[in-house]
Amino acid sequence: MAAPLRSPRSLRSRAPLSRFAAFLRATLTRAPHVAWTLAVLGLVLATAPCLRAAPSAPAVAPHGLRVEGVNYYDARAQFAKLGYRATYDSERQALTLKPRQPGPVGRELVLTGDKREATLDGMRIFLGEPALLHRGALHLAAIDYERFLLPILRPERQPARPLRTIVIDAGHGGVDTGTQNKKHSLDEKNFALDVALRLEALLAAKKFRVVQTRTDDRFIPLAQRAEIANAARADLFISVHFNAVANNPKVRGTETYVLTPQFQRSTSSLKASAEDKEKQVGNRHDVWSAVLGYHVHRQLLGELKSEDRGYKRARFAVLRLVDCPAVLVEAGYLSNDAEALLIASEAYRARIAKAVAEAVVAYDQARRGAEAGAVRLPELTR
Ligand SMILES: [Zn+2]
């Protein structure tokens, strides 16, 4: 369900301020004392909206727009800086962005007016704010650009971080069965553990240090899972789950989650809430989580050929509390009989593990690119 379009009365563009600056420059040469009075007045006017703004929300960019406390970029202008050309379908309010020189990632991004759902490389992705149509141009929330899309498209511009220790978190366990398919007597906890153990073998073979939050059928509280990861100094956290939905046995497919960025609402939230403003430990790693989630979702869909339920954002406890890039995989629906029987087969679970392991390799390549491109400070000399 799409959120209603915002009131045009609340639209505020930077254009009046730049015209004011030009007027000020002209006056300065003719009547300096008038110019100084205007300059002070201008400063007061320019600062007033900032006082109402969220304290650490990103600054408004050139060509930017601020609506109801959210900063936006003109998507066409912003992506032009990355070498993307845009085509706009006014009937569908859809802006299609394609790079002039396509690489493996970011070949096509489609934003649609008034929708949080977009597509990237043919996958469903969910933004924090709906794309906003203003004066005939689609605008993209600055946080969605800076902390989600830009890291995925240009990971080499992000500060490099290491990848040695990977913590795998098999969801549920013990008395907590997770979701179930009662008809076929299937419990999520068993399949989550099985995939986690398969993934461990694949990642260990690639020389990563792997730590599991559980290796048998036991209950572990959510906070303790994050503590295990943080104590192990995890560089990456992967939580494995299977999904279910009540009263709709037709729903099937794969969802991938990363932590919702600060100042945004989660994919399932229709309205903003006070919690959105809180910065979580996991938010320190938004940019690399964005990269990780992209590759995990892409590899899962590519390997499983499952229905695309979307690359989404949520504030699940483990994603909030781990101090490293993190992803939570909902690999399939146990409430869908056909998909439940697939999940119950060893071959399908092996493919889930393979897809996630390949996603880690793709993430590591992106990370190495950033490492190679990182600005290094010169060595200290005596
Ligand atoms: Zn679960």
Mean pLDDT of the chain: 87
Among 103, 122, 153, give the residue marking a domain's end. 153
Please indicate, yes or no, whether residues 82 and 210 belong to a single structural domain of this protein.
no
Half-sphere exposure of 49 (CA within 13 A, CB side): 19
What residues sit around ligand 1, an ion, with C-beta below 5 angstroms?
A: 171, 178, 241
Residue 4 scores a pLDDT above 90: no
What domain count does the chain have?
A: 3
Please indicate, yes or no, whether residues 149 and 172 belong to a single structural domain of this protein.
no
How many angstroms is it from 177 CA to the middle of ligand 1? 9
Please indicate, yes or no, whether residues 284 and 175 belong to a single structural domain of this protein.
yes
Please indicate, yes or no, whether residues 202 and 287 belong to a single structural domain of this protein.
yes
Residue 37 scores a pLDDT above 90: no
Instruction: Give the residue numbers spanning the domain of 268.
Output: 165-371
Q: From residue 170, how far is each of 92, 123, 318, 370 by CA, in Å? A: 41, 25, 11, 30
Joined together, the tokens standing for residue 5 give 């379009």
Please indicate, yes or no, whether residues 111 and 173 belong to a single structural domain of this protein.
no
Residue 7 in any domain: the answer is no
Residue 40 scores a pLDDT above 50: no
Among 111, 128, 153, give the residue marking a domain's end. 153
How many angstroms is it from 240 CA to the middle of ligand 1? 7
How many angstroms is it from 147 CA to the middle of ligand 1? 26
How many angstroms is it from 260 CA to the middle of ligand 1? 18
Please indicate, yes or no, whether residues 344 and 366 belong to a single structural domain of this protein.
yes
pLDDT of residue 372: 85
pLDDT of residue 151: 96
How many angstroms is it from 295 CA to the middle of ligand 1? 21
Residue 59 scores a pLDDT above 60: no
How many angstroms is it from 187 CA to the middle of ligand 1? 10
Joined together, the tokens standing for residue 187 give 């419990």
Query: Residue 81 maps to which CATH number?
Result: 3.30.457.10
Contact indicator for 334, 181 with CB cutoff of 8 Å: yes
- Chain centre to alpha carbon of residue 242: 20
Residue 218 scores a pLDDT above 80: yes
Please indicate, yes or no, whether residues 149 and 268 belong to a single structural domain of this protein.
no
Residue 17 scores a pLDDT above 50: no
Q: What is the pTM of this model?
A: 0.83
Residue 81 in any domain: the answer is yes
How many angstroms is it from 288 CA to the middle of ligand 1? 23
Residue 274 in any domain: the answer is yes
How many angstroms is it from 148 CA to the middle of ligand 1? 24
The average pLDDT across 215-220 equals 98
Residue 343 scores a pLDDT above 60: yes
Residue 376 in any domain: the answer is no
Query: Residue 82's pLDDT band (boundaries 50, 70, 90)?
Result: very high
Residue 45 in any domain: the answer is yes
Please indicate, yes or no, whether residues 132 and 187 belong to a single structural domain of this protein.
no
Query: Residue 209 maps to which CATH number?
Result: 3.40.630.40
Please indicate, yes or no, whether residues 196 and 83 belong to a single structural domain of this protein.
no
Among 153, 187, 213, give the residue marking a domain's end. 153
**55, 70, 195, 189: which is closest to 131 by C-alpha?**
70
Amino acid at position 38, single letter:
L
Q: From residue 10, how far is each of 7, 36, 68, 264 by CA, in Å? A: 6, 30, 7, 19
Please indicate, yes or no, whether residues 25 and 118 belong to a single structural domain of this protein.
no
Please indicate, yes or no, whether residues 192 and 78 belong to a single structural domain of this protein.
no
How many angstroms is it from 290 CA to the middle of ligand 1? 21
Residue 232 scores a pLDDT above 50: yes
> pLDDT tens, 162-208?
999 999 999 999 999 999 999 999 999 999 999 999 999 999 999 99
pLDDT of residue 373: 75
How many angstroms is it from 332 CA to the middle of ligand 1? 10
Residue 6 in any domain: the answer is no
Please indicate, yes or no, whether residues 252 and 346 belong to a single structural domain of this protein.
yes
The average pLDDT across 92-114 equals 96
pLDDT of residue 129: 96
Residue 5 in any domain: the answer is no
Query: Residue 110's pLDDT band (boundaries 50, 70, 90)?
Result: very high
pLDDT of residue 374: 60
